[in-house]
């Protein structure tokens, strides 16, 4: 579909979400084998892959054509200024950031700015790859899109151009956009649970994409997962949908042709009111509406995109499902509540994380309550608890509206459908589960394990998502199972679906079984088998055909099947005989086709096209596929075998293991799997895949050995029957033949198989018969009647007639020795003729040799035409010539015929003798094959054959040195030698002999003699003389050079190359020696089978047997049959009993295999590692639970102390009422709680009328001048210090001072601290008794970055406050304090301001806002003197304020030790505690960060 058409389809989809998209089914097409031949196996070749530059070019051309941005095209000045104080447009951008046509428009477009008229779409200029500077080279994807971009276009970008797989689940995370604190345990549980769901289900996580709030929590969860988990889990797709106009440093993302990559700088301190992108997200969709600094622009597009994705249908593994969506809620404000309500009304389930704060906690608290109990007062109470300061801003109307959304039954007039916890809201808590879903998770959470809580969140998210569509009854169970299979969540299916509440019929599981097989989900296959599904009922002909139509396109078998289909003339659809054709190539010609070709008169089988057999959630299910209609022929020969082959050809280890465990003919199945895998590995181009196939082939060979070993231990005779039993299921072949075809040497070398071969070798003779007795009876067969040899059968042992002789001479061991004796006689006669009796006319001895050779030729022809399996002459010939010894026999016979032709011609008599002499060598080499039967010589012959390969490689290296030295020597010594034979001698022959010590005598010029050579090269029997002086007869060639060349030549050849050859021989010997016996045992079978099928008479008497065979085969037309001992077809009953017995022993083998695996060191180490991990989780849980337990204990102690205080108050009042005590000596008790009227941080106590009932925090200093200690009772009555105070103990000592004058005593009696006793009397360090009034001016301004923009943190603006520090003080303080009489400014403030600025600052104070008035808890307070303060806020909102600039110029510390500066407002700054409390109120006043 073209992009324009695609966009139209997407637009229609957004208008009505109920319609199914026209192209939705093409998003995940089922692989079909009927593809074009041009695309044959393209995925297997690297030459078809696009490189990175081509992808970038494609993306750079597609995105600007289909995706737009929005830009303001008309500048309308806004009355508001930017944070930097610049003039901006109504869109939020400055004049410089607009195009020239927007600043100077051609026509007047009105005074008011209209986004519909003044914002236009243009091709986007921000897309490509994004890299976060300083945070590694992790590359993500980003794009700037218009808010009106169709969802279909964005979805096409993500799936087709960004290469994202279509999700199985959509997780939309929403909540607080500001940073919030979560408990460490809850944070860990949420992060790991969310990532686990995303990884196991293949989900997309969609967030706001910024580095704040819930988006930051999700990003950190993905980051922690990527750092701690392996690459096998896969990357989590995290998509951030943010507003383009609120992204800080977005200028670096603008690249008109695409940024590949674009570097993005995170600058949280300088971001101001904007936000930074989160570096842990993988993809970003930046929504643009043409404005700057306006949040929430992305919400409509995100809603449409999520709805659009949830309407798509994904086909995976034969199951087509609509993509479910689940909403996860953390923290959040009123907007989050509206999001949750909209999600639930649209059928989207929500998971609320309890303990994350605010709205999430409010919903979690009331979710489990009945609707009748959810009242307005309850909601108000919960909002007051969880929103605290913001609760005052909530109007009653908004609270009523929220209550309606939660409990509409309480307000009948509300036109809202009821929303209950069970309808769509699920709560998750890391503490105590109270909701219905929480009670379902209680059994998991009560265990207390950290991993269990992660699993609890995981198992809560997945079932919640599965309820995203309405399904009831049977359809609901099917839908749940489809989602579980699509997500590969067998744990959810096992715990939630396969329970006592739902009993599944086996036929109901067939569609899901097909989906699990296609998508390679062995755990589900095992689960279905455990719940009653039978593979024999499942594996119908149509099912098998459907599975092969959905082969993995990347597997080699798929390509081979495509080639077979391409060779068909009419391009028919896939049928099973096509599969059988490929399988026969893999299994070998010894097997028959597993699936027959349909006959011409047979009704064509049901071939269902792939699109009609999808398991669509809304359509008709595929259950009809598995209903057998009348008259429909189903393939029920061996469904387990068919499924096993289907799994093996795709190299699916776990699936094949499960299916093989269900097979009956398991030994043959394992050997066939080994054969198939080895053949596929030869053609596999990928090295890793080839190695995996070979490893799996070896594994199945070991399985076959294991089962056969169990059988052989139980019953040797029945085990040997298994070897030669004709298996109808595997193409009428045998286990032994399959092992030979697969070259499974370990299996063939098994002791039981070798015992069977030995039994075949000896025929009907006893295997313990001495070889000398056999030879003696061969030479004198009448000795058979004497009992010299014994037979296994009692009947033959008792007889003494012809049957005994026939049984003796039909034994392969006897035939072998007779042929060996005959062959030795042939070689002796042949040698005698060549050396003694080679006459011009053939003698009778020579004619006998010809007759003998003719019998050998007849025997070779018989072997060539021997076809008991009816494979065809061509295939038999190929098989015949695949043997090296057969090739040698044919070569020897042809060479003999050539020599014979020359010998019969008188002119070529001598050449004929030469040819026959060479042929004699080849016949002698044939003796090596005879000796391979020997256990002593056979392995050595194998080693010699392997070493011959090393010799050929060595000769190549040797030839390089021989030729190079020979040519150089010949050119230096001899001038213009024209005789070719002498050139060859000088270059090759003499150089080769030099290696063995035959060094030319003239090469060094010492033994030079003209008599030994020909000066002109005319003597054919002498070499040409070297370069010499004709007068002095002395050589003139450089002797020193030839000597050096000779030394180097001998060094490299004799020392280096010959030792290399010895090392190669030694290496080959070491390698082959380990497996020599195994190889010999494997090759022994071929010799035994050859002599078992041979006629008993040796050459030349074998001609009589050949004549008999000719009459039998050609004249009488009797077909050939394989010997019964190597291929035996059993009766049905006997075969069934044998297979049942094999299956029983297979189960024993599997149990022993599992037991051995548990005893292996690797398994034990893994078991110990798992237990250590479990212990680490327990310890981590205890560490995380410790703070919570301490808090609980402290809370319990506070309750107990409050109860004791109440009891003591009651006791004191009772004693007073009884007159048992006086009021003067009555002890004072600490209050139960602080007054609500005063700020406890500032006042530290209650009102003045509660004298003696409060405590102080800061008024506990060791040294107080001019103060007297209170009485002992007062000291003892002090309440304990507050938890936040650094001073947690009472004063250890009090300093005594005398009180002078009656006037001071009177003041002591009159002036009493309104907050209660401090433990010290007098005025202390204060100037007067009673209240000491102070003024605290709080001078603040906004913190700005280099560009002049206001810095922000967690969305809030950052303040700077003016503070001072005295010389000997450790803390900073506000520039305030006591004032002189008649003065307005405090003394401390005057010390830091120039005198000329005092009047100006007084006017600033007059315009300031009073933030606090009253008692201040101070370390200088005593029982009779205390501080009361007035805090006034003086704020400069604009950096260009003239008064602020004037203030900065007049700041001057008169005292050299005093410091003054602008300090960033933060709760961690080193400031006095009372001043911090005032500063916090100022920050709250301006909504600033604290």
Residue range 435-494, pLDDT digits in tens: 333 333 222 222 333 333 344 445 444 455 554 444 444 567 787 888 888 888 888 888
Task: Please give the pLDDT value at position 1308.
Answer: 66
> Would you state the structure tokens that stand for residue 84, as one six-digit string?
């930097």
The size of the chain, in residues, is 1490
Q: What is the mean pLDDT of the chain?
A: 77
Write down the residue that tokens 């004799």 correspond to.
1054
Residue range 988-1018, pLDDT digits in tens: 888 888 888 888 777 766 666 777 788 787 8
Percent of the chain with pLDDT strictly greater than 70: 78
Neighbours of 734 (CB within 10 A): 23
**126 has a pLDDT exceeding 90:** yes
**1338 has a pLDDT exceeding 90:** yes
Residue 278 CB-density burial (10 A; 0-12 exposed, 13-18 middle, 19+ buried): buried
Average pLDDT score over residue span 63-85? 88
Residue 277 CA, distance from chain mean position: 26
Residues paired with residue 1464 on neighbouring β-strands, in sequence order: 1360
Q: Contacts for 100-109 with beta carbons within 8 Å, 24 or more apart?
A: 101/73, 102/72, 102/73, 102/74, 102/75, 103/75, 105/73, 105/74, 105/75, 109/74
Residue range 480-490, pLDDT digits in tens: 888 888 888 88
Residues paired with residue 1337 on neighbouring β-strands, in sequence order: 1432
> Would you state the structure tokens that stand for residue 593, as one six-digit string?
């086709």
CA angle centred on 1060, ends 1057 and 1063, rounded to 5°: 160
pLDDT band at 127 (very low <50, low <70, confident <90, very high): very high
CA angle centred on 803, ends 801 and 806, rounded to 5°: 115
More confident of the two residues 262 and 376: 262
Task: Please give the pLDDT value at position 692.
Answer: 93
Q: Residue 177, SS3? A: coil
Task: Please give the pLDDT value at position 403.
Answer: 63
Could you tell me whether strands 119-123 and 319-322 are parallel, antiparallel, or unpaired per DSSP bridges? Answer: unpaired
| CA dist., res. 386 & res. 1411, Å (int) | 25
More confident of the two residues 1270 and 75: 75
Contact 585, 680 (CB under 8 A): no
Residues paired with residue 145 on neighbouring β-strands, in sequence order: 287
Task: Please give the pLDDT value at position 901.
Answer: 92
| CA dist., res. 1398 & res. 1230, Å (int) | 45
DSSP string computed for 466-523: HTSS---HHHHHHHHHHHHHHHT-HHHIIIIISSTT----GGGGHHHHHHHHHTT-HH
CA angle centred on 1070, ends 1066 and 1072, rounded to 5°: 115
Residue range 89-119, pLDDT digits in tens: 999 999 888 888 888 776 766 778 888 888 9
Task: Please give the pLDDT value at position 1243.
Answer: 46
Q: Residue 1284, SS3? A: coil
CA angle centred on 796, ends 790 and 801, rounded to 5°: 105
Average pLDDT score over residue span 1379-1398? 83
**203 to 48, 167, 234: CA distances (angstroms):** 29, 5, 11
Which range of 261-270, 708-717, 1064-1073 scores highest in mean pLDDT? It is 708-717
More confident of the two residues 1123 and 310: 310
pTM to 2 decimal places: 0.67
CA angle centred on 1223, ends 1217 and 1229, rounded to 5°: 90
Residues 6+ apart with CB under 8 A from 552: 31, 520, 558, 650
HEC per residue, 1085-1145: HHHHHHHHHCCCCCCCCHHHHHHHHHHHHHHCCCCCCCCCCCCECCCHHHHHHHHHHHHHH
Angle, in degrees to the nearest 10, between helices 639-648 and 666-683:
30
Residue range 705-745, pLDDT digits in tens: 999 999 999 999 999 999 999 998 898 899 999 999 999 99
| CA dist., res. 1440 & res. 427, Å (int) | 51
| CA dist., res. 14 & res. 19, Å (int) | 9
Residue range 835-867, pLDDT digits in tens: 998 988 889 999 999 999 999 999 888 888 877
pLDDT band at 1271 (very low <50, low <70, confident <90, very high): very low
More confident of the two residues 1031 and 1480: 1480
> Would you state the structure tokens that stand for residue 1088, as one six-digit string?
């035994």
Contact 1308, 1422 (CB under 8 A): no
Contact 203, 168 (CB under 8 A): yes
pLDDT band at 1275 (very low <50, low <70, confident <90, very high): very low
Residues 6+ apart with CB under 8 A from 1220: none
**1378 has a pLDDT exceeding 90:** no
| CA dist., res. 649 & res. 656, Å (int) | 10
Task: Compute the radius of gyration of the chain from its Cα atoms.
Answer: 49
HEC per residue, 1296-1335: CCCCCCHHHHHHHHHCCCCCCCCCEEECCCCCCCEEEEEE
Residue range 879-915, pLDDT digits in tens: 888 888 889 999 999 999 999 999 889 889 999 999 9
Write down the residue that tokens 């500048």 correspond to.
75
| CA dist., res. 1153 & res. 67, Å (int) | 60
**1277 has a pLDDT exceeding 50:** no
Contact 1177, 449 (CB under 8 A): yes
Residue range 1101-1132, pLDDT digits in tens: 888 888 888 888 788 877 766 555 678 888 98
Task: Please give the pLDDT value at position 938.
Answer: 78
Could you tell me whether strands 615-616 and 425-428 are parallel, antiparallel, or unpaired per DSSP bridges? Answer: unpaired
Task: Please give the pLDDT value at position 1257.
Answer: 57
């Amino acid at each position: 579909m073209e992009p324009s058409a695609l966009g139209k389809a997407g637009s229609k989809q957004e208008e009505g979400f109920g319609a199914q998209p026209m192209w939705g089914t093409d998003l995940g097409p089922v692989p079909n084998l009927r593809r074009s031949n041009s695309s044959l196996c393209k995925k297997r070749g690297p030459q078809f892959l696009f490189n990175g530059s081509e992808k970038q070019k494609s993306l750079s051309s597609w995105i600007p054509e289909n995706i737009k941005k929005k830009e303001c095209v008309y500048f309308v000045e806004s009355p508001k200024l930017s944070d930097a104080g610049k003039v901006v447009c109504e869109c939020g951008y400055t004049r410089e950031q607009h195009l020239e046509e927007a600043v100077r428009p051609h026509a007047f477009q009105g005074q008011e700015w209209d986004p519909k008229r003044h914002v236009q779409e243009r091709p986007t200029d921000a897309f490509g790859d994004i890299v976060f500077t300083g945070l590694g080279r992790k590359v993500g994807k980003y794009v700037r899109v218009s808010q009106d971009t169709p969802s279909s276009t964005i979805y096409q970008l993500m799936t087709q151009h960004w290469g994202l797989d279509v999700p199985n689940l959509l997780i939309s995370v929403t909540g607080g956009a500001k940073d919030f604190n979560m408990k460490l345990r809850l944070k860990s549980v949420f992060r790991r649970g969310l990532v686990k769901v995303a990884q196991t289900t293949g989900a997309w996580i969609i967030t706001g994409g910024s580095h704040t709030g819930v988006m930051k929590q999700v990003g950190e969860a993905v980051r922690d997962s990527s750092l701690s988990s392996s690459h096998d889990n896969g990357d989590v797709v995290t998509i951030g949908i943010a507003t383009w106009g609120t992204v800080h440093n977005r200028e670096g993302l603008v690249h008109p042709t695409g940024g590949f990559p674009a570097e993005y700088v995170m600058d949280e301190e300088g971001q101001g009111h904007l936000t930074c992108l989160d570096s842990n997200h993988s993809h970003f969709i930046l929504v643009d509406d043409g404005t700057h600094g306006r949040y929430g622009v992305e919400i409509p597009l995100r809603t449409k995109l999520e709805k659009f994705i949830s309407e798509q249908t994904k086909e995976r593994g034969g199951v087509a499902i609509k993509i479910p969506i689940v909403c996860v809620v953390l923290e959040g404000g009123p907007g989050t509540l509206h999001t949750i309500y909209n999600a639930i009304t649209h059928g989207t389930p929500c998971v609320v994380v309890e303990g994350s704060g605010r709205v999430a906690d409010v919903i979690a608290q009331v979710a489990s309550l009945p609707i009748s109990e959810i009242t307005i007062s309850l909601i108000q109470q919960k909002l007051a608890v969880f929103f605290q300061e913001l609760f005052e801003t909530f109007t009653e109307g908004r609270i009523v509206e929220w209550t309606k959304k939660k409990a509409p039954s309480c307000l009948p007039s509300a036109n809202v459908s009821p929303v209950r916890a069970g309808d769509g809201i699920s709560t998750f808590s890391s503490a105590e589960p109270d909701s219905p879903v929480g009670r379902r998770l209680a059994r998991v959470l009560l265990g207390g394990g950290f991993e269990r809580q992660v699993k609890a969140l995981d198992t809560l998210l997945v079932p919640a998502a599965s309820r995203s569509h309405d399904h009831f009854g049977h359809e609901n169970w099917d839908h749940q199972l489809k989602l579980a299979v699509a997500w590969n969540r067998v744990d959810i299916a096992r715990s939630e679906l396969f329970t006592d509440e739902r009993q599944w019929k086996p036929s109901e599981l067939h569609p899901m079984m097909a989906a699990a097989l296609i998508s390679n989900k062995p755990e589900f296959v095992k689960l279905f088998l455990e719940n009653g599904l039978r593979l024999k009922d499942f594996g119908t002909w149509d099912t098998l055909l459907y599975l092969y139509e959905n082969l993995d396109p990347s597997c080699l078998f798929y390509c081979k099947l495509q080639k077979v289909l391409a060779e068909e003339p009419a391009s028919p659809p896939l049928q099973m005989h096509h599969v059988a054709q490929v399988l026969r190539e893999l299994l070998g010609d010894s097997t028959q086709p597993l699936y027959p070709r349909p006959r011409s008169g047979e009704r064509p089988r049901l071939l269902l096209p792939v699109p009609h057999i999808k398991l669509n959630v809304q359509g008709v299910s595929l259950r009809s596929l598995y209903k057998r209609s009348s008259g429909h022929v189903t393939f029920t020969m061996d469904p387990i075998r068919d499924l096993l082959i289907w799994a093996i050809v795709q190299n699916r280890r776990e699936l094949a293991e499960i299916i093989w465990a269900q097979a009956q003919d398991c030994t043959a199945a394992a050997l066939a799997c080994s054969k198939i895998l080895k053949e596929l590995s030869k053609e596999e181009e990928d090295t890793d895949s080839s190695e995996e196939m070979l490893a799996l082939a070896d594994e199945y060979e070991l399985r076959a050995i294991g089962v056969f070993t169990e059988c052989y231990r139980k019953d040797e005779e029945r085990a040997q029957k298994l070897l030669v039993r004709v298996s109808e299921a595997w193409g009428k072949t045998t286990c032994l033949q399959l092992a030979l075809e697969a070259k499974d040497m370990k299996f063939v070398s098994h002791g039981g198989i070798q015992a069977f071969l030995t039994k075949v070798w000896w025929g009907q003779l006893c295997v313990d018969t001495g070889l000398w007795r056999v030879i003696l009876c061969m030479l004198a067969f009448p000795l058979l009647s004497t009992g010299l040899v014994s037979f296994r059968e009692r009947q033959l042992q008792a007889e003494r007639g012809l049957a005994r002789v026939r049984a003796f001479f039909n034994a392969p061991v006897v035939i072998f020795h007779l042929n060996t004796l005959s062959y030795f006689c042939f070689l002796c006669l042949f040698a005698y003729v060549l050396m003694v009796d080679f006459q011009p006319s053939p003698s009778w001895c020579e004619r006998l040799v010809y007759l003998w050779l003719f019998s050998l030729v007849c025997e070779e022809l018989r072997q060539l035409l021997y076809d008991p399996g009816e494979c065809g002459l061509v295939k038999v010939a190929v098989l015949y010539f695949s043997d090296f010894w057969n090739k040698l026999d044919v070569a020897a016979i042809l060479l003999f015929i050539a020599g014979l032709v020359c010998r019969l011609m008188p002119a070529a008599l001598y050449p004929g003798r030469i040819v026959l002499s060479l042929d004699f060598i080849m016949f002698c080499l044939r003796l090596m094959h005879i000796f391979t039967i020997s256990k002593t010589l056979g392995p050595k012959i194998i080693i010699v054959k392997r070493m011959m390969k090393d010799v050929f490689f060595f000769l190549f290296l040797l030839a390089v040195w021989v030729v190079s030295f020979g040519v150089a020597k010949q050119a230096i010594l001899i001038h213009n030698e024209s005789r070719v034979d002498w050139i060859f001698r000088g270059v090759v022959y003499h150089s080769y002999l030099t290696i063995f010590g035959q060094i030319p005598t003239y090469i060094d010029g010492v033994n030079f003699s003209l008599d030994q050579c020909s000066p002109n090269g005319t003597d054919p029997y002498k070499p040409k003389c070297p370069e010499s002086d004709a007068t002095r007869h002395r050589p003139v060639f450089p002797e020193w050079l030839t000597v050096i060349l000779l030394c180097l030549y001998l060094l490299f050849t004799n020392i280096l190359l010959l030792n290399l050859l010895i090392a190669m021989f030694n290496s080959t010997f070491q390698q082959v020696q380990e497996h020599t016996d195994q190889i010999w045992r494997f090759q022994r079978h071929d010799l035994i089978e050859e002599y078992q099928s041979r006629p008993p008479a040796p050459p030349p008497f074998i001609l009589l047997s050949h004549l008999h065979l000719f009459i039998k085969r050609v004249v009488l037309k009797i077909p050939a049959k394989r010997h019964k001992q190597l291929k035996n077809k059993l009766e049905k009953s006997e075969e069934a009993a044998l297979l049942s017995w094999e299956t029983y022993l297979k189960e024993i083998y599997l149990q022993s295999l599992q037991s051995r695996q548990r005893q292996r060191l690797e398994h034990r180490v893994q078991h110990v590692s798992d237990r250590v991990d479990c212990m680490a989780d327990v310890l981590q849980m205890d560490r995380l639970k410790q703070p919570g337990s301490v808090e609980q204990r402290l809370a319990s102690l506070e309750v107990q102390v409050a109860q004791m205080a109440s009891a003591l108050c009651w006791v004191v009042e009772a004693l007073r009422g009884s007159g048992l005590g006086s009021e003067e000596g009555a002890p004072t008790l600490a209050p139960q709680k602080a007054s609500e009227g005063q700020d406890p941080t500032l006042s530290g106590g209650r009102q003045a009328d509660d004298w003696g009932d409060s405590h102080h925090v800061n008024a506990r200093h060791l040294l107080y001048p001019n103060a007297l200690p209170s009485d002992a009772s007062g000291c003892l009555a002090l309440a304990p210090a507050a938890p936040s105070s650094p001073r947690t103990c009472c004063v250890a000592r009090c300093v005594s001072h005398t009180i002078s004058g009656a006037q001071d005593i009177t003041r002591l009696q009159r002036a009493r601290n309104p907050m209660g006793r401090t433990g010290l009397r007098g005025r202390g360090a204060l100037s007067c008794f009673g209240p000491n009034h102070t003024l605290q001016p709080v001078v603040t301004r906004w913190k700005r970055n280099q560009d002049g923009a206001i810095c922000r943190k967690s969305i809030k603006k950052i303040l700077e406050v003016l503070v001072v520090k005295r010389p000997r003080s450790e803390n900073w303080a506000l520039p305030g304090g006591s004032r002189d009489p008649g003065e307005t400014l405090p003394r401390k403030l005057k010390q830091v301001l120039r005198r000329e600025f005092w009047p100006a600052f007084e006017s600033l104070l007059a315009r300031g806002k009073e933030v606090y008035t009253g008692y201040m808890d101070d370390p200088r307070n005593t029982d009779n003197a205390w501080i009361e303060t007035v805090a006034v806020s003086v704020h400069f909102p604009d950096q260009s304020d003239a008064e602020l600039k004037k203030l900065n110029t007049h700041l001057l510390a008169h005292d050299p030790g005093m410091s003054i500066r602008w300090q960033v407002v933060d709760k961690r700054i080193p400031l006095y505690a009372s001043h911090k409390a005032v500063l916090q109120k100022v920050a709250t006043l301006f909504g600033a960060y604290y």
